[in-house]
Amino acid sequence: MKLGLYLLTGCLALIREVSGATLNYDFNITWVTANPDGLAPRPVIGINGEWPPPILNFTRGDRVIAKVYNALGNESTSIHWHGFFQNGTNNMDGAPQVTQCEIVPGSTFVYNFTVNQSGTYWYHSHTRGQYPDGFRQALVIQDPEDPYAGKYDEERVITLSDWYHDQMPGLLKKFISVTNPTGAEPVPNSALMNDTQDLIVPVLPGKTYLFHLVNVGAFASQYFWVEGHTMKIVEVDGVSTEAADASMIYITSAQRYSFLITMKNETDQNYAMVGSMDTDLFDTLPPTLNYNVTGWLVYDDQNHNPAPSTVSEFDPYDDFQLVPVDGEKLLEEPDYTVTLDLTMDNLGDGANYAFFNGITYVMPKVPTLYTALSTGPAATDPAIYGTNTHAFVLGKGDIIDLVLNNDDTGKHPFHLHGHAFQVVARSAENAGHYNSSNSPAFPPVPMRRDTVFVKPTGYFVLRFRADNPGIWLFHCHIEWHMDSGLVATMVEAPLDLQKTLSIPEDQHQVCAASKTPTSGNAAGNTVDLYDLTGENTSSPPLPAGFTPRGIVALVFSCVAALLGLASITWYGLAPISQPPRGMAERED
């Protein structure tokens, strides 16, 4: 009897192990024209000639093989599988110059990994500045052991996004420039719901739907609510939670929520659902900008779709209150603490950059994973990864605390690749730096997710176990800030990585096609690993005494001189004389 049970359990385990399907995708990355807000057709990056790209639907246990061919002709590309642990497959994480080489036009990169998670995710290009040009989409993973199985009838995916009419390469050039010394981020032109406006979601009375909400935007967080209905949050960023009722959600770029909504029995009315971009983030609020986007739960297409009511105050659910269903307790005291102080400042080229501890990220010449794999015992020394990659080496199995102190007056959503972390502390606005002897006790069962935002001049503390050997970026998910250097590199258990990971030949070919060196330190030196001569670095600091205002004055007087208008005084022009609002308030 007992033996029989054993055999049965063994067989079932085996079946579960091998029952995962293999999902083959051929992705031809191409330019497509799209006009999702109806205001301006523009080139976007699509897949197989289509935009929006396909919503993917995996099941835990599946093997995914995505062959990505770059047919863009004029830009490199990559795919990051946001929130995936890639345990044992760090080279499939999709971050160029970190875990792989750029996929140059005409090259193919094969992403090949198994899925050991469930919930709501997304995939997007991790090539500099690229995903807001359209190369991003939601992805869901079915769980054969879903704790909410049977509690809903159907599932629906809804994305939220900001949208720009101009393309990123041009916007980035203007953003990181001497002509924008305060670092004012481009303000989006529209908000989108599911890559459109006026989204229609047909629903049946009495049914319960599981909605997967993903913010695939570049910059703006959104408030989201559904009139006349309560959302029951059941998952954040791939972590199932105890059900929590919410009338409004705040969702930053890269965050995800799943919630259940039970429909009314009456079909006499349709209900608006609204996404409203957090305008605190914007330096200016153009009077023509509609920062809201509306869709409707349509009970009957004969009903009219009412305009949403005005909400007088935004009071979203506080995600810090969420409790994971698995009840994972607060991890032990940390073995190692990474402390990052966030600032924004100008460098010698006059442009504005973002810094952790005074370091702004610049990509190394050799992808960091390739450095870790090719440098033997030296791989445990953060120095070899280069000055501007800001590397921290984490010991295998160690408990890590990551303390982020925000010395900036904006909100920033941070993402750690390769992990869902416990959020053990998050301060209110203006709390200053974290002080362990003077802060609230950590929750016994902390909320876990992979993207969390820090409040203006506040802090958060994240805790995780370094049980996933690999190179994992930690960065702000506002694409503007990522590109101006708000990135640090976690080098997790590099010696284990050397023992367990080998790069397949086709990925070496991708590096050869992009002429990227694949061994040695960050500068590509394979002889003296501590000699970083020739490494990529940031611009030098500003000469002492220079301020952004000084730079603006300089730029404008140069322009004035060129125009022969030297007598005009450009000092004190409106755009810089007022403190910028929110995110880009950097200098007193």
Ligand X SMILES: *[C@@H]1O[C@H](CO)[C@@H](O)[C@H](O)[C@H]1NC(C)=O
Footprint of ligand X (CB under 6 A):
28, 30-31, 43, 49, 52, 55, 57, 65, 69, 71, 74-75, 85, 87, 110, 112, 116, 140, 142, 155-158, 167, 169, 194-195, 201, 206, 264-265, 276, 290-292, 310-311, 362-363, 365, 435, 437-438, 467-468, 536
CB of 356 to ligand X, least distance (A): 17
CA atoms within 13 A on the CB side of 442: 24
CB of 31 to ligand X, least distance (A): 4
CB of 558 to ligand X, least distance (A): 25
549 three-state secondary structure: helix
Query: To which H or E segment does residue 497 belong?
Result: helix 494-500
CB of 408 to Cu ion, least distance (A): 8
Match 């929590």 to its residue by tokens: 244
Are 462 and 410 in contact by the 8 Å Cβ rule? The answer is: no
Number of residues that bind Cu ion (CB under 5 A): 4
Which one of ligand X, Cu ion, none is in contact with 476 (Cβ closer than 5 to 8 A by kind)? Answer: Cu ion
Match 């322009």 to its residue by tokens: 559
Token pair recorded at residue 155? 């599932």
Q: Does 98 bind Cu ion (CB under 5 A)?
A: no
What CA–CA distances, in Å, run from 477 to 82, 172, 255, 416, 570? 11, 15, 10, 10, 35
Which one of ligand X, Cu ion, none is in contact with 438 (Cβ closer than 5 to 8 A by kind)? Answer: ligand X
CB of 161 to Cu ion, least distance (A): 17
CB of 429 to ligand X, least distance (A): 18
d(CA 194, CA 253): 14
Which one of ligand X, Cu ion, none is in contact with 116 (Cβ closer than 5 to 8 A by kind)? Answer: ligand X
Which one of Cu ion, ligand X, none is in contact with 536 (Cβ closer than 5 to 8 A by kind)? Answer: ligand X
CA 350, 353, 358, 362 dihedral sign is: negative
Q: Does 226 bind Cu ion (CB under 5 A)?
A: no
Query: Is the bond preceding residue 316 a cis peptide, omega within 30 degrees?
Result: no
Q: Does 412 bind Cu ion (CB under 5 A)?
A: yes
Integer-rounded Cα Rg, in Å, for the chain is: 24
| Among residues 60, 126, 481, 586, the one that binds Cu ion under rule CB under 5 A | 481
Q: Which is nearer to Cu ion, 365 or 586 (CB)?
A: 586
DSSP one-letter string for 91-153: GGS--BTTTB--B-TT-EEEEEEE----EEEEEE--STT-GGGT-EEEEEEE-TT-TTTTS-S
- Interface segment toward Cu ion; rule CB under 5 A; list 53-61, 252-260, 457-465, 476-484: 476-484
CB of 93 to Cu ion, least distance (A): 21
Q: E strands, 143-291, where?
A: 154-163, 190-193, 199-202, 208-215, 222-226, 231-236, 239-246, 249-251, 256-262, 271-277
Which one of Cu ion, ligand X, none is in contact with 372 (Cβ closer than 5 to 8 A by kind)? Answer: none
Which one of Cu ion, ligand X, none is in contact with 368 (Cβ closer than 5 to 8 A by kind)? Answer: none
Would you tell me which residues interact with Cu ion (CB under 5 A)? 412, 476, 478, 481
